[in-house]
A = this chain, B = another copy of it.
Amino acid sequence: MRERLYLYDTTLRDGQQTQGVQFSVAEKRMIAQALDALGVDYIEGGWPGANPTDSEFFAARPPTRAVMAAFGMTKRIGRSVENDDVLAMVLDAGTPAVCLVGKTHEFHVTTALGCTLEENREAIAQSVAHLVRRGREALFDAEHFFDGYRANPAYALDCLRAAHDAGARWLVLCDTNGGTLPAEVGRVVSEVIAAGIPGERLGIHCHDDTGTAVACSLAAIDAGVRQVQGTLNGLGERCGNANLVSLIPTLLLKEPYASRYETGVSHEALAGILKTSRVLDDILNRVPVRAAPYVGASAFAHKAGLHASAILKDPATYEHVPPETVGNARVIPMSNQAGQSNLRARLMQAGLAVDPKDPRLGRILEVVKEREDQGYAYDGAQASFELLARRALGQCPEFFEVKRYRVTVERRKNKYDRMISLSEAVVVVKIGGRKMLSVSESMDETGTDRGPVNALAKALAKDLGPYQACIDSMKLVDFKVRITQGGTEAVTRVIIDSEDDEGRRWSTVGVSPNIVDASFEALLDAIQWKLIRDLGQPVQEAAE
């Protein structure tokens, strides 16, 4: 019988403490749903009352199988639990679980709170009892527990006991400053359990300030805690929290954890963890970390020649777990064996049947590799991938040719002496034998300048002759810009999502050191894909 280990995610609360991160309500909902699909046991949604976004999220929180928790702090000194408005707002969020942070370090009690040790202990006990009376699953987040235990073990334990005796389901040992190392975490947890607090009531919350948050969490599990807190991709204040995307595969795939513990994450869900990790990267517009354990693009890449040849004989020679268990794939630079069946499946999806022996398959893989080295990314731009393959297969008709374009961005004072900006674009295309010039500016209906890419898109779509009707039914719905690596230089990658009247949605990619150029490339691909889908072949016209 395996013991149950509980996973508590705090991406939406502690993760939001990351410098530069501020989730919208819609993003919080997306993340909560991704976490729920993964199978974590608890989702900490934020601190109701602390900011408008968190309050709004809880007001209409998405239904989840995971237990939703609201975060807050123990009642303030000198008030009763009933008269603490900060605590009231946390309870008003109506979540089944509530986690309250409280002091357990005597130094923080006397200097930060400025009260007696006993007053703080009472505040913990009363706050937890209050949650329990209201029928909530109560968690006590023991702030600075390890530092506090080092300074005054008896008092730190007293605080835990106060929460325990008041009915807290979980006492979470929090290494707030992130400075405790794995060996000490293990030792302190053992001492806490030896002092009478049962391990099945203990949780662990680690930060990565020494690069050991995952190891500290494992050390705590080894010593007996049964709840682990962390975040997706290790997001969190300063150096981040324990990375659940690293921890979960270890708990499910590696010994002694795999045979000793059971979590809420199934092996099927584990195979989706790479995608869960990417959901967060997409929301933050971050480039996924290539070297990330388990889910990084390089995690199963075998560059050394000796390694690669051994891998061909038996992958276990240089892989500690099979890549597919976490939704990842082996990368062997010298062999495109594995790539070809993948490629054929993707071509089939685009309606392009290719014989397995067709030598053009190898050529397509080469082109994809070359272009990925330049900074292209085809996973998020299926339509551009399809066009690339069509070109290699000679199945990509040319509907029109762009001869040249020019965009001007100007910022100056208008006649009312106010600074205004305006962009103007000229595009010259050749359709059949006809040359067509179009010009557009970037002002929208409200008089706002929407910038050079907008002007260019409007000019390009303004007069495409026989294709105009087809283009008119499409619109640009999203535009993602990322600075990435192209060879040794930074380049701009633009991904454009388009949509048409029939509700079809497709994505295209452009790459260039020049952002306008990258955008234009993605725009052209978007139009090209639509024309192939709707018309198949260019309209026959007599050349002028």
Residue positions of A touching B, CB distance < 8 A: 16-20, 22, 24, 50-51, 73, 107-108, 111-112, 176-179, 181-183, 208-212, 214-216, 218-219, 222, 234, 237-240, 243, 246-247, 249-250, 254, 285-286, 290-294, 296-304, 306-307, 310, 313-314, 317-321, 331, 333, 335-337, 372, 377, 379-380, 402-413, 421, 423, 442, 448-454, 478-483, 485, 488-490, 492, 512-517, 520
Contact = CB atoms under 8 A, between A and B. Distances in A.
Contact of A239 (B19, B291, B303, B520): B291
A478 to B, nearest CB: 8
B303 A19 contact: yes
Given A20-B377, A222-B183, A379-B19, A453 B304 contact: no
Contact of A20 (B17, B243, B380, B490): B380
A448 B513 contact: yes
A293 B239 contact: yes
Contacts of A449: 512-514, 517
Given A20-B377, A404-B413, A208 B303 contact: no
Nearest to A177: B320
**8 cross-chain pairs, A with B, having the tightest CB-CB distances, nearest first:** A179-B320, A215-B215, A451-B514, A20-B380, A404-B412, A211-B246, A481-B481, A211-B293
A403 B412 contact: yes
19 contacts: A22-B372, A51-B337, A73-B306, A111-B317, A177-B320, A181-B215, A208-B291, A208-B293, A210-B293, A212-B212, A214-B215, A237-B301, A237-B307, A239-B291, A239-B293, A409-B516, A449-B513, A450-B513, A479-B490
A198 to B, nearest CB: 22
Nearest to A242: B211
Nearest to A213: B211
Most buried by B among A177, A181, A212, A310: A212
Tell me if A's interface is mostly helix, strand, loop or mixed: mixed
A337 B50 contact: yes
A210 B320 CA distance: 9
Given A240-B291, A314-B111, A210 B219 contact: no
Given A17-B303, A24-B485, A254 B214 contact: no
A108 B183 CA distance: 33
A110 to B, nearest CB: 11
Nearest to A404: B412
A298 B241 CA distance: 13
A407 B18 CA distance: 36
A513 B293 contact: no
A404 B411 CA distance: 5
Contact of A304 (B182, B209, B237, B485): B237
Contacts of A452: 409, 452, 514-516
A408 B411 contact: no
A318 B178 CA distance: 9
Given A246-B210, A411-B405, A423-B514, A18 B177 contact: no
A19 B216 CA distance: 29
Given A320-B177, A481-B515, A182 B218 contact: yes
Contact of A238 (B178, B298, B407, B423): B298
A314 B177 CA distance: 13
B239 A292 contact: yes
Contact of A290 (B19, B243, B407): B19
Given A177-B318, A409-B516, A517-B409, A238 B451 contact: no
Given A20-B485, A108-B317, A209-B320, 15 more contacts: A16-B337, A17-B337, A19-B298, A19-B331, A20-B377, A22-B372, A178-B320, A210-B254, A210-B294, A210-B320, A234-B291, A237-B302, A238-B300, A240-B291, A403-B412
A293 B234 CA distance: 12
A219 B516 contact: no
A181 B250 contact: yes
A219 B488 CA distance: 37
Contacts of A488: 285
A238 B485 contact: no
Nearest to A379: B19
A407 B412 CA distance: 12
Contacts of A73: 306
Given A22-B336, A24-B485, A517 B285 contact: no
A218 to B, nearest CB: 6
Contacts of A404: 410-413
Nearest to A406: B410
